[in-house]
Amino acid sequence: MGSTNDPWWADWSWQLDGWIVVAGILCSVSAALLGNFLVLRRLSLLGDAISHAVLPGLAAAYLITASRSSWPMFVGAVLVGVLTAVFTQWIRQAGRVDEGASMGVVFTSLFALGLLMIVQAADRVDLDPGCVLYGSIELTPLDTVGLFPLSSDLDPPQYAWRVPRVVLILTVVLAVNLLFVIVFFKELLLSSFDPGLATSMGFSSTAMHYALMILVAITAVASFESVGNILVVAMFVVPPAAARLLTNRLSTMVMWSVVIAIMSAVFGRIADIVVPRQWGYDSASTSGMMAVTAGMLFLGCWLFSPQQGLIIQAYKNWRLANRILSEDILAWLYRQCERGIQQGHGVLEIQRQLGSRFWSTYGIMVWLRWRGWIERHNGGWCLTEAGRNSASAVVRSHRLWENYLAQSADVPLEQLHLRAERLEHYTDPWLRQQLDNATLAAAIDPHGSPIPPEQPIELPHDESSPNTNPENKP
């Protein structure tokens, strides 16, 4: 290991880190591909459940074959993994409990059963579940197999290419998963969203479900054995969940989940080299770091997703709130003028009257002044001519709504104002015209105030004006 001052790539070795990243990518992508459908089927925790539940499979394989070779164990673990899914489904249907509860019942019981079997067998051999099954991604480059022997008579045999055994296994798993998702994409989509329709279209959604469960079990067990359980449990859930925040289309979601899975693996390895070094430690756990990186990527998607992201949502809410406040201020000033009050109005007075916060009111007033809709007058603020025009649209909407609600919706008089207050902000000229027609172009509202005429000059339609924000229109 290099000193703390070296850049991280000084430690990077393609022979070691390269293979670790490749194994990480293969595992992550295999898991994320299937994870999309687990997330849609509310089975996100299945990976975790299987990781606990495989114990009796291992114990049984060991008790039957009396050897610790990995194939029987693999088969035993996959069988129990599939059984976990089958039992979960069965208990869910027969007992009408939700997926989480039936999964919890199944995997804890299976684990306990496995523990019991191991303890009973313990006088014959020491079988430590922690050592049998769980591989470590850091050890990937050490255990290699040769491909393409150069010639058959050399001893020891020479190979054209040596790849880690783990990479070979995970490549096969990925290829199978990829093929499955591509070939059965339509079926998976339909059976995830509408099992009834899927069945009526001539393929069994139950068969699809079990095929998916078998692949999940194989992927999980192959990954436990090669790179440990943390990585695969995380990759079943986190990349698909992040991808879900980026899109509403399943095909796009699958692609994004693959991209996020690859990024988690690559940046996870790099972070594992870089981050612990900040505090003077060596790399700690690559698969743990890959899971954390996936979590960070999820956080990123959550914050910055263009449609569902927290930031864009907060921005939209902020804009809407500002537009409503500015319209309320204009309408209030308009009504003051209407009552013939010559006095100007201070920010504090307006804020108190509208029940808004001081600083947002102040900010909106600054903006209104910049638009030229209010001006200083008699020691306070009053509407300009342009301000009166835009305010009259709001007041007109308000009073039209009051008329309409009173005549057509039988809203009692004392509730009219509050209801119209909410509706006025979502009313465009076309809707005002409709309301006007519906109320027979009445000149005054139910409270006796005159309805201002529609202004011939419309509000300016540039983007900077909050009044023309297209997203906020109903």
- Which H or E element spans position 381? strand 380-383
Distance in Å, CB of 283 to another protein, minimum: 8
CB of 411 closer than 8 Å to CB of 445? no
Q: Does 281 bind another protein (CB under 8 A)?
A: yes
In 3D space, the residue among 120, 127, 142, 24 whose CA is nearest the CA of residue 73 turns out to be 127
Distance in Å, CB of 63 to another protein, minimum: 10
Q: Residue ranges of the alpha helices (H) in 41-134?
A: 46-53, 55-65, 70-95, 99-121, 129-133
Q: Does 129 bind another protein (CB under 8 A)?
A: no
Find the farthest-apart pair of alpha carbons in the chain and give their distance in angstroms, rounded.
109
Q: Does 36 bind another protein (CB under 8 A)?
A: no
**CA-angle at 140, arms to 134 and 146, nearest 5°:** 120
Q: Does 43 bind another protein (CB under 8 A)?
A: yes
Q: Hey, what's the torsion of the CAs at 39, 44, 50, 51, to 10 degrees? A: 120
Sketch the per residue contact string, 282 through 321, with another protein: x for CB under 8 A, - otherwise: xxxx-xxxxxx-xx--x---x-----x-x--x--------
Distance CA 320, CA 397 (A): 18
Distance in Å, CB of 238 to another protein, minimum: 6
Distance CA 213, CA 205 (A): 12
CB of 298 closer than 8 Å to CB of 238? yes
Name the residue nearer to another protein (CB basis): 298 or 401.
298
Name the residue nearer to another protein (CB basis): 75 or 97.
97
Which residue in the set 16, 75, 105, 178 belongs to the binding site for another protein (CB under 8 A)? 105
* Binding residues among 391-430 for another protein as defined by CB under 8 A: none
Please, how many CA atoms are within 13 Å of residue 464, restricted to the half-sphere of its CB?
4
Name the residue nearer to another protein (CB basis): 91 or 172.
91
Name the residue nearer to another protein (CB basis): 224 or 334.
224
Number of residues that bind another protein (CB under 8 A): 62
- Which H or E element spans position 375? strand 374-377
Name the residue nearer to another protein (CB basis): 53 or 393.
53
Name the residue nearer to another protein (CB basis): 47 or 164.
47
Distance in Å, CB of 319 to another protein, minimum: 18
Name the residue nearer to another protein (CB basis): 109 or 455.
109
Q: Does 104 bind another protein (CB under 8 A)?
A: yes
Distance in Å, CB of 112 to another protein, minimum: 4
* Binding residues among 198-237 for another protein as defined by CB under 8 A: 230, 233-234, 236-237
Q: What is the DSSP letter of 453?
A: P
Distance CA 189, CA 15 (A): 40
Which residue in the set 3, 15, 123, 379 belongs to the binding site for another protein (CB under 8 A)? 123
* Binding residues among 52-91 for another protein as defined by CB under 8 A: 52, 91
Q: Does 137 bind another protein (CB under 8 A)?
A: no
For CA atoms 249, 251, 255, 260, the dihedral sign is positive
Distance CA 257, CA 240 (A): 5
Which residue in the set 109, 204, 360, 465 belongs to the binding site for another protein (CB under 8 A)? 109
Name the residue nearer to another protein (CB basis): 262 or 365.
262
Tell me the window of 102-110, 331-339, 350-358, 453-461 that interacts with another protein (CB under 8 A). Answer: 102-110
3-state secondary structure 383-451: ECHHHHHHHHHHHHHHHHHHHHHHHHCCCCHHHHHHHHHHHHHHCCHHHHHHHHHHCCCCCECCCCCEC
CB of 376 closer than 8 Å to CB of 439? no
Residues that bind another protein (CB under 8 A): 39, 42-45, 47-48, 52, 91, 94-105, 108-109, 111-113, 115-116, 119-121, 123, 230, 233-234, 236-238, 241, 244-245, 272, 276, 279, 281-285, 287-292, 294-295, 298, 302, 308, 310, 313
